[in-house]
Structure formats: C-alpha cells, structure tokens
Structure 1
Amino acid sequence: MDLRRLRCFVAVAEELHFTRAAARLHIEQSPLSRTIRQLESDVGASLFERGGRGTHLTWAGQVLLRDARRVFAVLEQARINVKAAATGYRGMLRIALSDGIAQTRLTALLALCREEEPDVGIRLFETPFAAQVRGMRDDSFDAGFAQSDEAGEGIHCETLWSDPLVAAIPNRHPLLAFKQIPLEELLKYPLVMYHPEACHGASRQIKRILRSTDIRPNIAERAVTLELMLTLVAAGYGLGFATASQISICRHPEIVTRPLADGSARMTTFLLRPHREPSEPLQHFVDRARLLRDNSCLSEQA
C-alpha cells in the first residue's frame, strides 16, 4: 500500500472535507480526489460516503483509519528509536501525563530511571486523558500517569499513590481563620474548578469529594491547568483545590493553602499501560514506580 496515498486518506478522514484536507497537504483538490479513488481501488472498498450532508467515513474507512494511524505511529517510533540509538540510547519510552500529576514524585521517578538505566531515554507527553488512552491503544504511548482509572478495556490501571487535597485560598480571606477547613464552610464561596475535558481525572475526583455534602457548589470558572487555577484564585475569582505536592511546585505569593477537615479527601494517581507484554525497559520503569509508591507508604506509616 502506497504511504503517500495513505497520508492523503488520513488527512481527508480527519478533516472530512476534501478542500480542507487538500490545503493541509498543500496540494490541489483534484489530485487529492484522484489519489483517494486510487486507494479505494487498491483496497477494493469505498472509504467515504459523499452526499449533501458532507463527507463521512464508511465502516471500511473507519477500519482503515484506525490501522493507518497505527502504521504511522510505528513509523514515527522507528524514527525516534533510530535517533535515540544515534545519540547513545538503547531504547525509548513514551510516557503520557494527564491531570497535572504530582511533579515531585515524577521528578524522583525520572531521576531514579536516569541513575539506574541511563541508556534508556524517556519522552514525556502532556495530553488530555482521552488522548492518553487513545494513544496507548494505537501504540503512540507505552504508559501514562493520570488521576482517572476509567480507561476501559485493553488498558491496565494501577493505583500508584494518593495525596491529601488542600484548599487554595487568596491571602486575607476570612476562611484563613480555620486551621482545617470544613467542606461546608468552603462551599459557601465560589470555586475555580478544573475543566472536565482538559483535567478529566482531577475534575471527577474533586466532584466526587464535594458530593459528600448536600451543598451545591457555585462554580465561578473552570481552569485547564493548575497554574491558571492558581492565577484565578489569586485574582479573587473563587477558591481552588490542589494537592500539597502540586502547590509546593507552583507556589503563588498571593495564595495560602489550608488542609481540609475531612482527612479522607485525597487525590489518587494511577499508572496506565496497555494489556500486552511490556518491553524490558517498560517493566523496569513500572517496577521503579512501584518501589517509590511502596517507600512512600512506609514513610507515611512511620
């Protein structure tokens, strides 16, 4: 199968519009249409339905799109592996990050990997949770960290660690009179919450914690990153939530944190990986993540 035709097909399949796809590929629409007809002849199936309501993928087209993305992911990985080998690495792991995971723990894990296996490179990709799961299914990522375990079939989710949730409060706020803030008191004020698509896991976990009260939260704004949430809190838009480890990385001079009175309010981080036999470097990576988790648990118990 001709890779050039396959690239043209992916462009049309993703745009569902021949003119936009042609512009994306920097070619005219007429040769693009011919290329798609040639590809349909090659595979012996119609890939698109063209009608008054626009262009849509046939079932055969949907199947080919899934496989084409896998092909290009393999080609991209081959390019990465060759480049890594040329610079002295024996292998390369692609790790996806969602929900702004606890950076201090990630730092410790990456440092341990570099110390124990320096010839294995690690590339990090910040991506929404849905894209992380999709990437593991089409072999774009080897593993990932997220604050959701709702990945569905084919993805193994393992609890790694949990961190206490704290309230982010502007300085000189009346709630600072509390050393530990009851949720009922905090929910008297507007909140800055995480965007449910950009921070799927964090958003759902916090929402679940807030449901422990009968008070409906007043959501003033939604933020796509921890940094934006802290900026909005400092500006007086509302109160926010984060873990103590996250706050320690992103300190803001106009924000004070307070623990919640409910000590069970914690954010859990999960390790996600596809349900297939892991490579040796990936197995070592997972083992190190588990080691840090177990050592952290022992420290908390002590």
Structure 2
Amino acid sequence: MELRHLRCFLAVAEELHFARAAERLHIDQSPLSRTIKELEEELGVLLFIRTTRSTQLTRAGHLFLEHVPRVFMMLDQALDSVKAAARGFHGQLRVALSDGIMPSRLPALLAQCREEDPEVDIRLFEIPLAQQIAGLHDGIYDAGFSMAEDAGDGIVATPVWEDEVMVAVPARHPVLAFKKIPLVEVLRYPLVLGYPVICEGHARQIDRILRMQVQEPLVAQRVGSFDVMMTLVSAGLALGLAGAAHIASTRESGIVARPLEGNPLMLATYLLHRDAEPAPILARFVERSTAVDSKFDRPTIDKF
C-alpha cells in the first residue's frame, strides 16, 4: 500500500464522486479507478458501492475513513518536526484547541513559553473535541484545551482558568435596564447558542446554567463560533451567553456585556493530556497553564 492509494481513497470518500475526486487530484478518472481497485484488492474488501447515479462508502469504507486522515496528520507532523529541528528547535509541543476556548490567556501563555523555553516549537491545531481526544490517545497531540471536564478514560482534564458568564446584549435592548440581569429575564428573549457538536464543552456548561430555570430557552440560532454569535448579537437578533473574555475580544460594535444576577457563574477551561507521566516539555507547559489565570487582567464589563 502506498500513500497514493490513501490520497485517492480520501479524495473519493470526501467527494463521493469519482470525476470530482479525479479533478481534485489533477489526474484522469481511469487511473483513479484503477488505484481504488488496487487498494480494495489489497485490503480484500469493497470500499465503495458505485452505480451510474451515485458513489457511496461501504461499512468497511466508513471504518477505513476514520483512520486514513490520521495517517496524513502524523506525516505532516513528522515533516513539521524535521523542519523545526532544521530551524534550531530542540523539541516540539503539539497543542489542540477545541470549544473556542477563552482567547485572552493563550497569547500570555505562549509568550511565556517562548521566553522560558525558546528551543521548543509549539504548534496549535483547531479541531473538534472528539478529534482532540482521539488525537491525544493516538499521540498525535501532546496536550489540548477544551471546556469539557470529562474526556473519558485515559485522559486527564485539569481546570486551568475560568471566565464569568456574561450576557452579550445589543445596545438599546430592554434588558439593559438591569445592571445585573436575572436569568429569568434572559429567557424571555431569543438566544444565540453554540452547536453542541462544535462547541461541545461550552454547550454543556451553558446548558447546565439554563437548566437552573424551568422555562425552556427560545433558541433563535445555533452557531459554530463566537465570532458569529457576536455578529448576531450586534445585529440585534438575539442575546448571547459567553465568557467575559470572549465578549471583550469581539470586534463587533454595539454590544454590551452584563453579568447575571446572583453569585457569579463561571465557565471553566480545561487542559487535557494523556494519563501518563508527562515529558519534561509537557510538564512545564502544564505548570505554566495552571498559573496563567492568576496573571490575567479581567476585562471590563460594558463594551460598546
């Protein structure tokens, strides 16, 4: 089996169309079909069901698709490691980011790492939580940040920083009559929330807060990023619930951040890594990550 077999399989599996896959690979359709047939013969299974109208993955094809992208990810990371060594680095730390983690801590953390461990090349990967956890198990990533406190067996999730839950409010909205907004008042208006499959950990934490009230939230829209959330809030289409750091970092105008009434509700971010004795580079990174929150300047409340 050669890499060209895997590249051809991946293209067809993602396009589910041999002509489009051939165009994507810049080859003719006939050699693409022969390559897929060679791969199927070597594996001893059919990977695709192909008719005049459609191309579909078989069950074996679906299973194979779960693993093939990791091969290319590991190859890319091996190449990155070699290139980093050529640039004078003596180690590499691969860090996955999921759930749109709080943005304000990362620059300070990375700056500290660069100052204290200048020989370590740090690479960041923005990926879904499930992919992060699989990558940690497979050794594709050394550590990751997420807002999910339960990553399953074999993964340690350590809380590293917190942000107060704020209501992102369009300017001139009625709830601005409250300096601290009761949750029951928030639920009177449409909300924009994160997709659970994309912002899994954040969605879980917000869902726990919303369950504090009997009333069901009126969800106007679910989004895959905080940038889109703030865009909808700025347009006056809904209220948003997010950490203070996310609202403070938005480039959108016309947004006011207000706290919820009562004791502050906090959103936690976790550092994930395998449940094993960490290498010295990773151990130092974990130590810095758990200390960075104490050095963080809290953002101001109102933002216009």
| TM-score of the superposed pair, with normalisation by structure 2 | 0.84
CA distance in 2 between partners of 1:286 and 1:47 (Å): 45
CA distance in 2 between partners of 1:187 and 1:73 (Å): 43
Matches within 5 A, 1:190-229: 190-229=190-229
Cα deviation for residue 142 of structure 1 reads 2.4
Q: Is the 8 A contact 2:230 2:247 kept in 1?
A: no
Matches within 5 A, 1:50-89: 50=49, 54-59=55-60, 64-89=64-89
CA distance in 1 between partners of 2:64 and 2:254 (Å): 53
1:91-128 CA deviation, whole Å, 9 max, x = no partner? 22222222222222222211111111011111222233
| AA partner of residue 56 (structure 1) | L
| AA partner of residue 146 (structure 2) | A
CA distance in 1 between partners of 2:130 and 2:7 (Å): 23
CA distance in 2 between partners of 1:244 and 1:38 (Å): 55
In the alignment, which residue of structure 2 is the partner of 1:46?
Answer: 45
Q: Could you tell me which runs of 5 or more consecutive residues in structure 2 were left unpaired when the two chains were aligned.
A: 299-304
Cα deviation for residue 267 of structure 1 reads 0.8
Q: Is the 8 A contact 1:73 1:138 kept in 2?
A: no
Cα deviation for residue 246 of structure 1 reads 2.1
RMSD between superposed Cα atoms in Å: 2.8
| AA partner of residue 73 (structure 2) | A
In the alignment, which residue of structure 1 is the partner of 2:180?
Answer: 180
1:185-227 CA deviation, whole Å, 9 max, x = no partner? 2211221222333322222211220110011111222332222
Cα deviation for residue 151 of structure 1 reads 3.2
CA distance in 1 between partners of 2:194 and 2:40 (Å): 44
CA distance in 1 between partners of 2:75 and 2:167 (Å): 45
Provide the secondary structure at the position in 2 that maps to 1:11.
helix
| AA partner of residue 104 (structure 1) | S
CA distance in 2 between partners of 1:229 and 1:286 (Å): 30
Q: Higher mean Cα deviation, 271-280 or 190-199?
A: 271-280
In the alignment, which residue of structure 2 is the partner of 1:115?
Answer: 115
| TM-score of the superposed pair, with normalisation by structure 1 | 0.85
1:255-302 CA deviation, whole Å, 9 max, x = no partner? 222111132521111112234554432222112112335x469x9xxx
Q: Higher mean Cα deviation, 131-140 or 172-181?
A: 131-140
Cα deviation for residue 157 of structure 1 reads 2.1
1:50-101 CA deviation, whole Å, 9 max, x = no partner? 3668433454x56655554443232211210111112221122222222222
Say yes or no: does 1:189 pair with 2:186: no
Q: Is the 8 A contact 1:16 1:55 kept in 2?
A: yes
Q: Is the 8 A contact 1:69 1:138 kept in 2?
A: no
CA distance in 1 between partners of 2:189 and 2:239 (Å): 7
In the alignment, which residue of structure 1 is the partner of 2:250?
Answer: 250
CA distance in 1 between partners of 2:264 and 2:62 (Å): 45
| AA partner of residue 89 (structure 2) | Y
Q: Is the 8 A contact 2:8 2:35 kept in 1?
A: yes
Provide closer, same or farther for how the CA distance between residues 46 and 140 of structure 1 changes in structure 2, counting only shifts above 3 A: same
Cα deviation for residue 239 of structure 1 reads 1.2
Provide closer, same or farther for how the CA distance between residues 62 and 252 of structure 1 changes in structure 2, counting only shifts above 3 A: closer
CA distance in 1 between partners of 2:276 and 2:55 (Å): 39
Q: Higher mean Cα deviation, 181-190 or 70-79?
A: 70-79
Question: What is the percent sequence identity of the aligned residues?
Answer: 49
Q: How many residues align?
A: 295
